[in-house]
Structure 1
Amino acid sequence: MPHLIVEYSANLAGYPEAEALAALNAAVCASPEVKDEADLKTRFVHTSAFEIGTAPANRAFVHAELRLLAGRTPQAKADLAERVAAVLRRLTPRPAGLMVQLSVDVVDMDRPSYVKERL
C-alpha cells in the first residue's frame, strides 16, 4: 500500500512513462499520508483496446487509480488525488486534434483482507 495504477490509451504516443513514474512517486511520497516510500507501487498500463463514448476517433484518456488502506480523511484523499492529477496534467501528451480526458480516483482497500509482506 499504496498502489498507483495509471492507464492510458494507445493513441497517446510517446507517453513519458519513466519521467511520469519518478514524478508521481515523488509527489505521492511527499504526502504525510505515505509513511514509508518503499510502500508505494506505481505502474503504467498501456491500453490498446479502448473506446470513449460513441465517436469513432479523436479521443484519448489517462486514468489513475490510487488504492489506499481505508481510513484516510476526505481531505487527505483529495490532496493525494490532486498530487497525482497535477503530475499527469503536466506530462500527458496532447496531440493536435485529440481530446484527452484525465481522471483520478482514490479507492479504499479493506484493511482486514489486505495482505502485504516483504520477502
Structure 2
Amino acid sequence: MPHLTLEYTDNLSALPLRPLLHALNQRLIASGQFSGPDIKSRALPLTQYLVGDQDDGQAFVHLRLALLDGRDDAVKLALSTALLQILQQQVTAPDGCALQLCVEVCDIHRASYAKHSS
C-alpha cells in the first residue's frame, strides 16, 4: 500500500512518465508514511475524454492515491499537496492547450483489503 494511479489525456504525449512516477514515489517515501516496496504506481493514458463541452484544446492529469484507511485529514492534505507540486513541476501542456492537474486521496477499507506477496 499505497496504490498510485496517474490518468492523463493522450494529448500529453510528451509526458515524462517514468521520471514522473519515480518523482511521485520518492515524494511518498520522503513523507515517512510508506516504504518503497509498498508503493504500486501506474500511468494510464485516456484516449476518450471530454473536458466541459470542448472537443479539443484541453488536457488533464488526475492522480489518485489510494491508502488503507486510518490516516487523518492533515496527513492526506499534506500528501495531496506534495504530489500536486510534483505534477506542477513536471507536467506541461502542449501549445494552445489548457491543462488541469488534480490529486485525489481516497481510503481503502482496511477490513476488506486483501493482499498476497511472495
TM-score (norm 2): 0.96
Query: Are 2:23 and 1:23 aligned?
Result: yes
Percentage of identical aligned residues:
36
Unaligned runs of 5+ in 2: none
Report the AA paired with residue 23 of structure 1. Answer: A
> How far apart are 1:56 and its partner, in Å?
2.2
- For residues 5 and 11 of structure 1, the distance between their equivalents in structure 2, rounded to whole angstroms, comes to 18
> Secondary structure of 1:76's match?
helix
How many aligned residue pairs are there?
118
Alignment of 1:95-110 (within 5 A): 95-110=94-109
Deviation at 1:93, TM superposition (A): 2.2
What does residue 11 of structure 1 align with? 11
User: What TM-score, normalized by structure 1, do the two folds share?
Assistant: 0.95
SS at match of 2:110: coil
Query: In 2, distance between residues paired with 1:71 and 1:12?
Result: 35
Letter paired with 1:83: A
Gaps of 5+ in 1: none
2:76 counterpart letter in structure 1:
K
Q: What is the CA RMSD across the aligned residues, in angstroms?
A: 0.8
